[in-house]
Structure 1
Amino acid sequence: MTRLNDLDLNLLLVFDAILRAGSVTVAAAEVGLAQASMSNALARLRDHFDDPLFVRTKGSMRPTPLAESMAAPVQGALNQLRAAIEGKPRFVAARSSRCFRICMTEIAQRLFLARLLQHFTVHAPNVQVTTVDMFPDATQAALAGGDIDLAVGYFADFGPDFYSQKFFEETYVVMARRGHPAATSSAFGREAYLDARHIVYVPSAASHHNLEASLDREFLRLGRKRNVGLRVAHSLGVSDVVASTDLVLTVPSRLGRVLAEVFQLQVFDLPLAVPAIDIKQYWHTRYHQDPAIAWLRAQFRELFQAQAPALMPSISRIDRAGW
């Protein structure tokens, strides 16, 4: 019985070349073998299949019935192998209907998603997006396993098998209702901020914990304890609370500007020394060369990176923890 394991698969290239050329000499030139080596390869094929495979008739090599029955399967298999080995995968956004899965926090979704989808409407009208919010450990595993394509925001150190690219540095602001008694027209002073009642926004996944921990440490350093009037796990409705009470909310500056425009709130610089954070996109090394994910990363960079293209930072290993 003829078995694939017993056959030198390079001989299939010889078979295909002779089949198409109808000549051992022409086929030898095509596959880069000397005439003697090509004749030896054909002899090995004949011995393996116990069949002449090609017979000379009127100046050309014609396939035997066995060779004819093998022709289509062999050529199809070789074409698939050539496509897999020689053809670099391409991603054509305008024709793609791929669904990208992106890990975004509530805040990141509010900041990025509308503009991203407007961009896709023009450049990739059939591309779909699914957003998820995960704890850092789950995000790391999902990126490595291909369950999500990209993580966007401020996340934990995923280790040496991940890449990141910075979009911008984010600071924090204080939001208060118009006419708040502790605010001036241009500032919310430090003592007023320390005395104010606060809204603590702590979603279930790792989006805002770093800020809250930093604020608590700063209050403690100043010998104070934060007066918390409300703790919420979702941002929906929080702006209405700020607009209708004297509670204050501390949020990333870009989110603060968006909310202030929509809900007519006042936005002030945070009067405490809380470190800024780097907002980045993150991906696993397995997908660094994937053309679809490379295209997705390029869209985020084009839309949201603060620097001009000439100033774009190089890709770096990730080095932060948790927005």
Structure 2
Amino acid sequence: MTEQAYASLDIRLMRTLRLLLTECSVSRTADLLGQAQPTVSLTLKKLRDIFQDPLLVRSGSTLVPTERGLALRVAMNDILGRIDSHLSSQTGFDPATSTRHFRIVASNCLGTVFMPQLIGAITDIAPGVSIDASPLPSQEDLMSGLSEGRIDAVIGNWPHPPDHLRIAPMLKTDIVCLVRSSHRFARRNWTRIPLQDYLNESHLSPTSERDAQFSPIDGRLLDLGLKRHIRATVPEYSIAPYVLARSDLVFTTGRHFAEQVAQTFPFAVLDAPEELGQMHFYTLWHDRKHHSPDQAWLRRMIKNASAEMRALDRAHPLPLPPALCELPG
């Protein structure tokens, strides 16, 4: 770009550019900015003139960023993130009066045992704060959501978390297998399922094969150069017990969830192959949110809920939520 072009690129244009390259839609960008679509179209034309690049091009019925556009999206996230960090108020965070909205992405395995602890604690002391707890999206959406500030924290358990994110350990649990009482595994006197027998079975999983790196089970098997046969996947963890009750599939999960479900369903809980190790949970967040007082408070709440869960786990198994208390007919 020429010096004259640089001079015309103000913060308003940079924010519009970032939004256009993120949404890949002139109409959605206009809606988010509260502007008319022709206005945003003119802004895109101006940005194309400044950078001497189309920035967004047609791919079928959608728009996709050019290579220059992708590089600028990363640059705009970095530049605007730094500007927002310097200009944001650092006066502190009062949970009792805040109306802050947090978005947490969490592994399904902790859904029924950890999230009630966390959300209950937050609603007790921060009545105006709202929580959006979502399952893991695709890797691309997860990383862009963190870098662009749309995701506040991630509770994960996959074997290899990204090394460019900040991380704090939460808890760990044994890996076990759930099978219905008529399954051949339930009739064996094993102290632990042998690996080869495990690999010979058909499995139920909450994670598809295309996202194997996000699975604490399939990610570990990939490290070992192995792969199990996933016969079926479920979109929600709470569906798994009902599928197991009507099939001879094997469901591999953390001991917290398995023992909770086995209080109501007639399932056997068996130790998984020792090669799978343990399931480790941690909190991930982006450096852009590290110093914000509200984010520090959220991370403390996650840490406290983890400690309370460990204490409850030592005392007695966590009860099963009412939603899962009816046996399938």
Cross-structure match for 1:293: 295
Q: Does 1:199 align with 2:209?
A: no
SS at match of 1:89: coil
CA distance in 2, matches of 1:215, 1:88: 45
Q: Structure 1-normalised TM-score?
A: 0.58
Alignment match, 1:164 = 167
Aligned pairs for 1:12-51 within 5 A: none
Deviation digits for residues 178-226 of structure 1 (CA, Å, limit 9, x no counterpart): 2433324674542654543322432476785341243467695xxxx85
Going from structure 1 to structure 2, the CA distance change for 1:307 and 1:290 (only over 3 Å counts) comes to: same
1:89 aligns with 2:91: yes
1:119 alignment partner, one of 118, 121, 136: 121
Aligned residue pairs: how many? Answer: 220
Is 1:147 the equivalent of 2:150?
yes
Query: Do the aligned partners of residues 99 and 205 (structure 1) sit closer, same or farther apart at CA in structure 2, a change above 3 Å counting?
Result: farther
CA contact (8 A) 1:167 1:281 kept: yes
Q: Counterparts of 2:143 and 2:230 in 1: how far apart (Å)? A: 32
- How far apart are the structure 1 equivalents of 2:176 and 2:251? 8
Q: Deviations over 1:76-95 (max 9, x none)?
A: xxxxxxxx99x841211112
Q: Does the CA-based 8 Å contact 1:201-1:232 persist in structure 2?
A: yes
CA distance in 2, matches of 1:142, 1:291: 20
Q: Judging changes above 3 Å, is the alpha-carbon distance between structure 1 residues 233 and 216 closer, same or farther for their aligned structure 2 residues?
A: farther
Deviations 1:258-285 (A, max 9, x none): 3223434221111341133431111122
1 CA distance for matches of 2:289 and 2:169?
A: 18
Give the 5 Å matches for 1:1-323: 88-132=90-134, 133-154=136-157, 156-160=160-164, 162-183=165-186, 184=188, 187=191, 189-190=193-194, 192-203=197-208, 208-215=214-221, 220=226, 226=228, 228-305=230-307
Greater CA radius of gyration, 1 or 2?
1
Counterparts of 1:188 and 1:196, CA distance in 2: 15
Are 2:157 and 2:216, in contact at CA under 8 Å, matched by a contact in 1? no
- Measured in 2, the distance between the counterparts of 1:176 and 1:219 equals 25
What secondary structure is seen at the aligned counterpart in 2 of 1:282?
Answer: strand
What amino acid is aligned across from residue 144 of structure 1 in structure 2? S
Instruction: Give the Cα separation in 1 of the matches to 2:229 and 2:166.
Output: 39
Deviation at 1:149, TM superposition (A): 1.0
Change (3 A) 1:120 1:226: closer
Unmatched segments (≥5 aa) in structure 2? 1-85, 312-329
Partner amino acid, structure 1, of 2:162: F
Identity %: 24
**How big is the shift at 1:98?**
1.1
Kept in 1: contact 2:167–2:283 (CA 8 A): yes
* Residues 261/218 of structure 1: CA separation in 2 closer, same or farther (3 Å cut): farther
How many Å apart are 1:97 and its aligned residue? 1.6
Match of 2:5 in 1: none
Q: CA separation in 2, counterparts of 1:237 and 1:307? A: 25
Contact 2:175 2:255 in 1 (8 A): yes
**Aligned-pair CA distance for 1:303:** 0.9
Partner residue, 1:315: none
Alignment partners' CA distance in 2, 1:157 and 1:208: 9
CA distance in 2, matches of 1:209, 1:307: 22
Kept after mapping to 2: 8 A contact 1:218/1:274: no
Amino acid at match of 1:214: R
Query: Separation in 2 of the partners of 1:90 and 1:302?
Result: 20
